C-alpha cells in the first residue's frame, strides 16, 4: 500500500495514540482527531523537521493502516 503524504494541518486538536521509535531520523505517529485517524510522519535532518500527514480515515481503518505501516505493508 502506498500512502499519500500532505502538508501538516495545524488547526485542530490531535491526540497521538501510538508512535514509532524516536531513535530514528523518521518517526511515525498514529493520531486521532474529530473521530478520524491519520498518520503523521516527521523527518529530522540537520536540525530541521519536515512533518507530513496522510489523509483521514475512520478510526478503525486508520488503525488498520497503522498496523500495515509497522509491518512493512504500507509506505
pLDDT by residue (tens digit) across 33-42? 999 999 999 9
User: What's the pLDDT score for residue 32?
Assistant: 95
pLDDT computed for residue 11 by the predictor? 67
Cα separation of 47 and 13, whole Å? 26
**Closest by Cα among 9, 13, 5, 11 to 32:** 13
Per-residue pLDDT, averaged over 1-27, amounts to: 90
Mean per-residue pLDDT, 28-55:
94
Number of H-type helices and E-type strands within the chain: 1, 6
Residue 47 has a pLDDT of 87
What is this structure's pTM? 0.90
Average pLDDT over every residue of 50-66: 95
Amino acid at each position: 500500500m502506498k500512502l499519500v503524504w500532505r502538508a501538516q494541518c495545524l488547526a485542530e486538536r490531535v491526540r497521538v495514540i501510538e508512535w514509532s521509535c524516536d531513535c530514528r531520523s523518521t518517526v511515525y505517529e498514529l493520531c486521532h482527531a474529530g473521530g478520524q485517524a491519520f498518520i503523521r510522519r516527521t523527518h529530522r535532518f540537520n536540525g530541521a523537521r519536515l512533518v507530513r500527514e496522510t489523509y483521514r480515515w475512520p478510526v478503525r481503518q486508520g488503525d488498520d493502516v497503522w498496523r500495515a505501516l509497522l509491518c512493512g505493508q504500507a509506505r
